[in-house]
Amino acid sequence: MPELPFTAAEYAARLSKTRLAMAARGLDAIFVTDPSNMAWLTGYDGWSFYVHQGVLLGLEGEPVWWGRAMDAVGAQRTTYLSHDNILGYDDSFVQNPAKHPMSELAKLIAARGLATARIGFEMDNYYFTASAFLALQQGLTSAQLFDATGLVNWQRAVKSATEIDYMRRAARIVERMHAVIRDKAEVGMPKNQLIADIYHASVFGAEGDWGDYPAIVPMAPSGMDATAPHLTWDDAPLRAGESTFFEIAGAYRRYQCPQSRTLFLGKPPQKYLDAEQAVLEAVEAGLAQAKPGQLCEDIANAFNHTLNQHGFQKDSRCGYAIGLSYPPDWGERTMSFRSGDKTVLEVGMTFHFMPALWLDDGGLEITEPIVITETGAECLCRTPRALVVKD
């Protein structure tokens, strides 16, 4: 048996929880293609999500891992599944417009007694294509196919003690990454060299824990580029009189801990200092609402009310659920901190409280990964909560 990141009892509890949700929707089976859901259910961990793969889960019995034949060995190395429930399709199906691997999955589903079943698929998912769905429709003419997007994601909302421990380890790593930025960033330094140092810190790890790869590459735009939220880096030198925000994450065993801080080289203009003060006070107001029984929107409303009092506006959400993730996103795609999200907060939920502001000539990101505890929100990181100023 491979060395798994969780106990057999925890995996069994996850299957039971998911099956209750399936039964509530009247589903006989689901096929999950999101690699984070595959890993959460079975332990599977491999960079194979660029080809068609997934986990078939019925209402009883062991799940079935299905994917490219060469990756079946990876499933044997990283999951608790018996080899009879690890099945691969021939490599001639890979990126071949003449035939689709989902036609083979349809045969597998039928062979498992589900030819006339009610089956859920993650329709709105990065890893499930329109052609995949059409091939399944053609191969499962007697089955009923339903949208089960998010079904497994929602079962992951409340983290176990081990999951939170992994996120704390990831937090130590992102703290180290921010320390590297504070120590090494200077006027004239090519941006790509600083990113290389950040990557080294992220993989080297912290406090004896190795670093896994984050689900998103570092976001690190400067100056006018920092008026946009999702730009990466180039080889341009860091300049005096410009802000650069660093939206980065530490990762441990695929558990992500994102955190952002903003660097200003030189003396910040007053509007940056005003924005910093507004964000810091608004973060405190939001954190005060982050406790069991409150709603996701309570955090957003408190944050935005305080921010508005200081003369600033934020149109986008200010937070989202985080945990186990693979590229291209470190969010769990469930809850958000925004008006209208009435999800009730529970002990063990984890979020990226992401109160970013984009100004007319730069950006300001001072964010916090948090876990909901019995008494309120605990910030997972100890990174100083402030604009980082270097002369």
DSSP 169-180: HHHHHHHHHHHH
Based on DSSP, count helices (H) and strands (E) in the chain, helices before strands: 10, 16
Preceding omega of 269 cis (within 30 degrees of 0):
no
pLDDT on residue 210: 98
> Could you give the C-alpha distances from 116 to 27, 112, 140, in angstroms and in order?
12, 11, 8
Amino acid code (one letter) for 143 = A
In this structure, what DSSP letter does residue 27 have?
Answer: -
Helix axes 102-109, 130-139, angle to 10 degrees: 40
Rounded Cα distance between 190 and 237, Å, is 4
pLDDT on residue 347: 98
pLDDT on residue 239: 97
Phi, psi (degrees; rounded to nearest 5) at 22: -65, -45
Please answer whether residues 26 and 118 qualify as being in contact, where contact means their C-beta atoms are separated by less than 8 angstroms. yes
Phi, psi (degrees; rounded to nearest 5) at 161: -60, -40
Taking alpha carbons only, the member of 63, 59, 21, 66 closest to residue 42 is 63
Please answer whether residues 334 and 154 qualify as being in contact, where contact means their C-beta atoms are separated by less than 8 angstroms. yes
Question: What's the longest Cα–Cα distance across the chain?
Answer: 69
CA 252 to chain centre: 12
Decide: residue 37, CB within 10 A, 0-12 exposed, 13-18 middle, 19+ buried.
buried
Rounded Cα distance between 349 and 346, Å, is 6
pLDDT on residue 287: 98
Phi, psi (degrees; rounded to nearest 5) at 262: -115, 130
**Look-up of token digits 């080294």:** 200
Q: Which tokens belong to 177?
A: 């990454």
pLDDT on residue 43: 98
Please answer whether residues 335 and 157 qualify as being in contact, where contact means their C-beta atoms are separated by less than 8 angstroms. yes
pLDDT on residue 2: 87
pLDDT on residue 328: 97
Instruction: Show the domains of the chain with their CATH numbers.
Output: 8-155 (3.40.350.10), 161-390 (3.90.230.10)
Q: Which residues touch 278 (CB under 8 Å, ≥6 apart)?
A: 306, 307, 310, 311, 312, 357
Taking the chain (391 residues) in runs of 10, the rounded mean pLDDT of each run is 93 98 98 98 98 98 98 98 98 96 98 98 96 97 98 98 98 98 98 98 98 98 95 97 97 98 97 96 98 98 97 94 98 98 98 93 96 98 97 86
Q: Which residues touch 189 (CB under 8 Å, ≥6 apart)?
A: 237, 238
pLDDT on residue 358: 85
pLDDT on residue 391: 86
Rounded Cα distance between 199 and 254, Å, is 16
